[in-house]
C-alpha cells in the first residue's frame, strides 16, 4: 500500500485524475471501477476538464460501479446511476452501454444478479483500476464492518451509521434505502490497481485503521493491505491520525523517481 499525502482535496483529485489519464493513454479500452459519494466528485470534475481539453478519452473504456441501492429506479436522483450519469458519463465520451452498476429490483434474485455482475466484469477482462472512497466506519463499497474478506457482489444491509452518514443526501421525508448491492471485498481485491481517496477529518480514524490497524473484517478497508498495487491519496486532515506519517512521506519521496521513470501502471 502506497500512501501519498496532499495539502488539500483539490490536489488529491488532480493527482487521481492524472492516474486515470496515464491508464487510458496506455490502455484506451481499460475497464474502470468507479465509485460514488462526495469524495470522488472533485476527481470527476477534473476528468471532465481533461476530456474537454482533449487530453483523455473514454470512448473505448468500460466501467463498473462498486454499488447501487437495492430496488431503486435509475431515474431517482438518489440512485447511483443518476449520480454517475449526471456527474460524469453525460459529460464525457464514454458509451453508456459500456457502463454498468450492480442493480437488483424486488422482482430479481439478488444472488443471481450478483453472479451476473461478477461474470460481466470477467467478460470485460477484469478491472484495471478500481476507484474507492472509504466510509467513516472503514467500509469500502457497501462492505460494512464484519463483511467477509472473501465476499463477492451481493446484497447488503447498511449499518445505521452509514444510513445516518448518507441521510444528508436525501430530502426530509424521502424514503432512504437500507439495502444495497455491492461488489464484495474479494471482487475489489481482484482489480489490478486500486486508488483510494479520503479527504477530511471525518475519515481520519478509518484511514488510520486501514493503514496502521490489523487486517480485520471490522475495518473492511484493511483488506487493501493484501493488495499488491494500491495507492491511497489523502489530504492532511484525513492523514492526521496516521502513526507513521514521516516514514510514509520518506517512502513516497523514494518512489517518486521510479514512478517518474516507469509510470505507475508498470505491471499492466
Residue with cell 457482489: 153
95 is catalytic: no
Interface map 122-141 toward ligand GLP (x if CB under 6 A): -----------xxx-----x
Residue from 139, 143, 166, 235 carrying the catalytic annotation: 139
Q: Quote the least distance from Cβ 261 to ligand GLP, whole Å.
A: 32
Q: Please state, in angstroms and as integers, the Cα–Cα distance from residue 204 to each residue in 135, 234, 242, following that order.
A: 10, 9, 8
Question: How many Å apart are CA 193 and CA 245, to the nearest integer?
Answer: 23
Q: By the 8 A CB rule, do 196 and 135 touch?
A: no
Q: DSSP states of 228-244 as a string? A: TTEEEEEETTTTTT-TT
Q: Tell which one of 63, 98, 130, 162 touches ligand GLP (CB under 6 A).
A: 162
Q: Please state, in angstroms and as integers, the Cα–Cα distance from residue 255 to each residue in 16, 94, 135, 250, following that order.
A: 17, 32, 28, 9
Residue 190 as a binder of ligand GLP (CB under 6 A): the answer is no
Of 126, 141, 130, 127, whose CA–CA distance to 180 is shortest? Answer: 141
Residue from 67, 118, 209, 235 carrying the catalytic annotation: 67
Interface map 193-212 toward ligand GLP (x if CB under 6 A): --------------------
Q: Which stretch binds ligand GLP (CB under 6 A): 32-40, 110-118, 187-195, 243-251?
A: 32-40
Residues 56-75 that bind ligand GLP (CB under 6 A): 66-67
Q: Tell which one of 70, 142, 264, 265 touches ligand GLP (CB under 6 A).
A: 142
Q: Pairing between strand 2-6 and 67-69?
A: unpaired
Catalytic residue annotation: 67, 137, 139, 144
Which residues bind to ligand GLP, rule: CB under 6 A?
A: 35-39, 66-67, 133-135, 141-142, 162, 166
Amino acid at each position: 500500500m502506497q500512501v501519498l499525502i496532499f495539502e488539500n482535496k483539490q490536489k488529491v483529485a488532480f493527482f487521481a485524475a492524472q492516474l486515470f489519464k496515464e491508464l487510458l493513454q496506455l490502455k484506451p479500452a481499460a475497464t474502470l471501477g468507479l465509485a460514488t459519494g462526495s469524495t470522488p466528485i472533485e476527481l470527476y470534475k477534473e476528468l471532465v476538464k481533461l476530456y474537454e481539453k482533449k487530453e483523455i478519452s473514454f470512448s473505448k473504456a468500460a466501467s463498473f460501479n462498486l454499488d447501487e441501492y437495492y430496488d431503486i429506479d435509475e431515474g431517482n436522483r438518489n440512485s447511483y446511476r443518476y449520480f454517475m450519469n449526471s456527474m460524469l458519463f453525460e459529460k464525457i465520451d464514454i458509451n453508456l452501454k459500456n457502463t454498468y452498476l450492480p442493480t437488483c429490483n424486488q422482482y430479481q434474485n439478488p444472488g443471481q444478479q450478483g453472479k451476473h455482475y461478477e461474470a460481466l466484469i470477467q467478460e470485460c477482462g477484469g478491472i484495471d483500476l478500481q476507484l474507492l472512497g472509504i466510509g467513516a466506519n472503514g467500509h469500502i463499497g457497501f462492505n460494512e464492518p464484519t463483511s467477509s474478506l472473501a465476499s463477492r457482489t451481493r446484497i447488503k444491509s447498511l449499518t445505521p451509521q452509514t444510513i445516518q452518514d448518507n441521510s444528508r443526501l436525501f430530502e426530509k421525508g424521502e424514503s432512504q434505502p437500507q439495502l444495497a448491492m455491492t461488489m464484495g471485498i474479494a471482487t475489489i481485491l481482484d482489480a489490478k490497481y486500486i486508488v483510494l481517496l479520503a479527504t477530511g477529518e471525518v475519515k481520519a480514524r478509518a484511514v488510520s485503521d486501514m493503514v496502521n490497524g490489523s487486517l480485520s473484517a471490522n475495518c473492511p478497508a484493511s483488506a487493501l493491505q493484501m493488495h499488491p498495487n494500491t495507492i491511497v491519496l489523502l489530504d492532511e486532515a484525513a492523514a492526521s491520525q496516521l502513526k507513521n506519517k514521516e516514514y510514509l512521506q520518506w517512502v513516497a519521496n523514494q518512489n517518486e523517481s521510479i514512478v517518474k521513470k516507469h509510470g505507475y501502471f508498470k505491471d499492466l
